[in-house]
Structure 1
Amino acid sequence: MRIIAEVLIVLGGYAWAFSSSDPLGWLVALAVALSPLQIGLIVYYYNGLFLSDFFLLGALVLYAMSPGERLRWNPGKLGILFGVFLSWLLLSSLAARWPSSRSVALSEWTRFARAYVMFVVVYSASLEPARFRRILWALVAGVFWEGLVAFVQWRRGYAGLAFLGEQKIRWRATGLFSHPTMLGEYLAMLAPLTLRLLVTHPFKVAWKRVVLTLGFLLVLGGLFGSYARGGWFGTALGATIAFGLPLLKMRAKLIARYKGPLIALVIIAAVGLVRYGPILQKQLTDPARKRSASVRKPLNLVAMEMLKDRAVLGVGLGNYRWNSWNYIARVYARAVAMGFDSWDELSQIVHNSFLLLAAEGGALALLAFWVMLGRLLIDALMLGWRSSGVIQNVGLGALGGLCAFSVVMLASPNMFQEPFLMSLWALAGLCQAARVYHQRLVARSAGRQHVITPSPARPAGTQHGLSGADHGSLSPRLDNRR
């Protein structure tokens, strides 16, 4: 059944794309929308070609065959750094201790390589305004789809979507992820962008905002049903950042314009707290959940010992579990003092994605990733602070989502799973494309301000330039120039 569903999705997606006037744009949009799904042609160690990869490959073929299309391999000058990151991870994988672990490491390395391809393809395609909007809403569609499935699971249980990778978990919503925590982390990364568009995007017809509002309420219900405390905290943090930054500029008109939707969100949150407050309190104070959180401390000690021993090249991607037993003895006394004496418990993967990357790929890999992440955060901050319209929404949504996701990953090992890598770098590609649009608008504004044209309606010597209203009206449409 799953194989039939996968074939139908791929064939249907290609048929839809090639029946449109822009096959390339639709293939990229489908790759982005399907990036959370963990199904496809799995050939080795939970890895292979996932559904989104089939559409990504099609987009690469069209780029190669179309003379008028060009891939930009160095988006925002991050491509070179990403290349260094990939090269170091490849060297680390080749230096793994055993041939079998080396093959696993190389398999895991392909996940990062595919994420780079997603970054490049999304960035290159998004430099066309129509494709930018299509890819942006494809990213949002993925959020709504996962939220809808999770909402059904929360209210009715199993949704019957095993052919799409749904897991049977009795009392927690997972969406189409393999674990409820992954659903919460995915929503923490992309819900801030979705909420920014819902509240501030200038929809031409009111019913679209109503539909998006209902969809986002389903997302919130699914997020609650996951009982993922990290996802709860991350989504709240990301939304606070996404809406808090404009308030620092004290834009009175902006606040007045959107105070209605914001007040409605506050009321919905208050009602939810009153209705589900006891459940929230139980999840935050339950002894079993506290123990599952406390085990992260001794796991961090094991990872630190591994990093000390293999600081340069690490143990190889995907090799943490095979090596953790060698380091438990060094920290066992301290772990027992913390209340953990089970070797099986202490051998599990460290619940900190950054420590996991350092232990498996070496300290330089972690440093390169931090530099790339820091650059993305700075670019998103500048877009959110200096731009307007949909460009600002992408910047603020990316800023809130990346900050929240990074914080949540301090207590999770999932950052480098396929759905998160692909979605993260799709968001990064959109953010870098929005940066290009902002630079074009600034250049256009500066060029017009240097044109002095006397007229009867305007005193001589007055500059013709873009007003704030003009800049805002241009931003939602983006720039139609190549």
Structure 2
Amino acid sequence: MASKAWMRLSQPEELGRWIATQKWDLLALGASALVPVLLISQLDALELALAFLVVFVGLPVAVLTFLRTDWGLAALTFIIYTNATDVAVEHGAPSPTKLYGIMLLTALTLRLIGGERPVGAIKPALFTLIYMLFILASLAYSDHFRDAQEYVINNIREGMICILIILISRTAASFRLVVWALIFAAGFLTSMNFLQFITGAYWFNFAGFAKAEYDELGKELGDYRISGPLTDPNFYALILIPIVPLCFDRVLNEPIRLLRPVAAVVLGFVLLAISLTYSRGALVGLLGIAGLVLLRVRLSPKALVSGLILVVGLAAIAPSAYIARVNDLIATVSGEKSQSDTSAADVSVDGRKAEMLVALRMFADNPLQGVGAGNYAFNFQNYSQDLHLMNRGEDRNAHSLYLQIAAERGLIGLASFGTLLWLMAKSLRQARQGFDQAGVKDCATLTVAFGLGVFGFLVSSLFLHESYPKYFWIFMGIALSLPQAAQSELDRFGERSLSVRLFP
């Protein structure tokens, strides 16, 4: 009886009806759950919040993980996206990603022992593993073996997230759950940025989930730049980019009507947060998404009108300092700005040019295999001095994902990374076709939106290196798991099979 109830609630339409009929009971339950926590007056605010999360969120989710691993995967996605592990460790708490990841892996292992088989997941999981082994192998010839070990091991450990997603997310319902986990996680983070914006209290960082620092954005122009739970505002903007098309699609196509206004609110929060990062690379990523939409996606009149409203709204909420910062970049790159007008923002642009030139020189000196994964920063100053470039006085990164791969892993690394991106694009295309054939239009449009978001992420990565690989691996894992989800829908309707091969 209980298992049948869970099966019904796993369907989005059934879940929506249940929430609609039980909303007041759920609200009363949630309010009553706060009472015992509020009575514990001897705890400080952080301990109180942790106690609430453990007792009233962690334990129910832990139980749910063993009942439904796809719900557990959605919870893990939320934890990883919000960077809750780094925040927890900073406060002396154990890593929730490790604890929850082990629990989820245990639940998956028990299901595999029980007879479940991840049909269609082996090939993409195996290719991902091979790609990570290429990264590990590059340590063998690096000059800074010990210094780069931590970077490589972290990259591989976080790459296991991708494999975990491929093995667990095998249905359309799982896909939807993970997407909504991303949307809710972005909403959780950006709602705090919204509160900072309307109150001006950027000094209050919400226990580390909403960091902000004052920065010189241009000549005689400065403001606070938010970085969320990360350490750099540019990377925070980068991880918010994929959420924009996901929210836009859910506003238009979400079958659970109650969730459409949620997506709309999160969309507004995310766009505001991106503007408060003052990231020019994020603007390029959003323009890349808009360009691809106009070229490749057939938009309905409703979507066109909504898009125009979104663009106007984005222009309206953009801080004047952001517009000035973008104009600064255009003038600097075009050479229209005189030397006397140089600002800190221009120095940043010149510095990035130098870092990219160093990456090209490293690649030219080591075209086949590069200098080794994680070794760019440790070779930067020597190359910078040899090329007589701006003296940054410290180890720097390449500020471009693709130039970083070229410099550190050479043609071998570029070829393996390009193959991984090709497989991702092929998976997205075939998944969309599969959902269309099965008549699951909701997931078909969601797949397109997800692909647009990843494209924007990759475009913006032209100007940012691989500092937080876990986000790339989350998006890659979702993409590579989608053909399985589409195949499960085709099987339900008795359609022809959908095959995804690594090579034709």
Q: TM-score, normalised by structure 1?
A: 0.76
Q: Please report how far the alpha carbon of residue 313 of structure 1 lies from its aligned counterpart in structure 2 after TM superposition.
A: 4.1
Q: Any residues of structure 2 matched to 1:262-411 within 5 Å, and which?
A: 262-274=304-316, 276=318, 278-286=320-328, 287-288=342-343, 289-332=345-388, 335=389, 340=390, 342-344=391-393, 347-384=395-432, 387-388=435-436, 389-411=441-463
* Secondary structure of 1:351's aligned partner: coil
Long gaps (5+) in structure 2: 1-43, 215-223, 329-341, 497-504
CA distance in 2, matches of 1:74, 1:112: 25
CA distance in 1, matches of 2:285, 2:359: 24
2:269 matched residue in structure 1: 218
Q: Please report how far the alpha carbon of residue 165 of structure 1 lies from its aligned counterpart in structure 2 after TM superposition.
A: 4.7
CA distance in 2, matches of 1:51, 1:2: 19
Q: Please report how far the alpha carbon of residue 159 of structure 1 lies from its aligned counterpart in structure 2 after TM superposition.
A: 6.4
Distance change >3 Å, CA 90–CA 445, structure 1 → 2: same
1:111 to 137, 154, 177: 154
1:57 matched residue in structure 2: 102
Give CA deviations for 1:234-290 in whole Å, capped at 9, x if unaligned.
13432553576341xxxxxx725xx1x642442243244256484443111235334
- Tell me, yes or no, if the aligned pair for 1:184 and 1:223 is still in contact at 8 Å: yes
Distance change >3 Å, CA 358–CA 157, structure 1 → 2: farther
1:134 to 148, 153, 177: 177
Q: TM-score, normalised by structure 2?
A: 0.73
Give CA deviations for 1:371-401 in whole Å, capped at 9, x if unaligned.
1012212322344466442321332123212
* Secondary structure of 1:160's aligned partner: coil
- Tell me, yes or no, if the aligned pair for 1:24 and 1:62 is still in contact at 8 Å: yes
Give CA deviations for 1:434-480 in whole Å, capped at 9, x if unaligned.
322333545666759xxxxxxxxxxxxxxxxxxxxxxxxxxxxxxxx
1:77 matched residue in structure 2: 123
2:70 to 5, 25, 28: 25
Identity %: 19
* Secondary structure of 1:314's aligned partner: coil
Letter in 1 for 2:240: L
1:430 matched residue in structure 2: 478
- Tell me, yes or no, if the aligned pair for 1:164 and 1:176 is still in contact at 8 Å: yes
Letter in 1 for 2:234: T
Distance change >3 Å, CA 54–CA 232, structure 1 → 2: farther
**More displaced stretch, 76-85 vs 143-152:** 76-85
CA distance in 2, matches of 1:437, 1:38: 27
Q: Please report how far the alpha carbon of residue 56 of structure 1 lies from its aligned counterpart in structure 2 after TM superposition.
A: 1.8
**More displaced stretch, 176-185 vs 106-115:** 106-115
2:339 matched residue in structure 1: none
**How many residues were matched structurally?**
419
Give CA deviations for 1:339-395 in whole Å, capped at 9, x if unaligned.
x4x2527x5211111111232334312321121012212322344466442321332
Q: Please report how far the alpha carbon of residue 193 of structure 1 lies from its aligned counterpart in structure 2 after TM superposition.
A: 2.1
CA distance in 1, matches of 2:58, 2:374: 33
Q: Please report how far the alpha carbon of residue 226 of structure 1 lies from its aligned counterpart in structure 2 after TM superposition.
A: 1.2
Letter in 2 for 1:189: P
Long gaps (5+) in structure 1: 248-253, 449-482
**More displaced stretch, 282-291 vs 223-232:** 282-291
Letter in 2 for 1:61: T
* Secondary structure of 2:167's aligned partner: helix
CA distance in 1, matches of 2:145, 2:56: 37
Q: Please report how far the alpha carbon of residue 185 of structure 1 lies from its aligned counterpart in structure 2 after TM superposition.
A: 0.6
CA distance in 1, matches of 2:357, 2:172: 48
- Tell me, yes or no, if the aligned pair for 1:351 and 1:411 is still in contact at 8 Å: yes
1:245 matched residue in structure 2: 296
- Tell me, yes or no, if the aligned pair for 1:192 and 1:242 is still in contact at 8 Å: no
CA distance in 2, matches of 1:282, 1:120: 43
* Secondary structure of 1:173's aligned partner: strand
2:284 to 219, 228, 233: 233
Distance change >3 Å, CA 127–CA 276, structure 1 → 2: closer
Letter in 1 for 2:326: L
Letter in 2 for 1:237: G
1:468 matched residue in structure 2: none
Distance change >3 Å, CA 274–CA 189, structure 1 → 2: closer
Distance change >3 Å, CA 112–CA 409, structure 1 → 2: same
Q: Any residues of structure 2 matched to 1:181-220 within 5 Å, and which?
A: 181-203=234-256, 205=257, 207-220=258-271
Q: Please report how far the alpha carbon of residue 228 of structure 1 lies from its aligned counterpart in structure 2 after TM superposition.
A: 0.9
- Tell me, yes or no, if the aligned pair for 1:108 and 1:318 is still in contact at 8 Å: yes
Distance change >3 Å, CA 277–CA 131, structure 1 → 2: closer
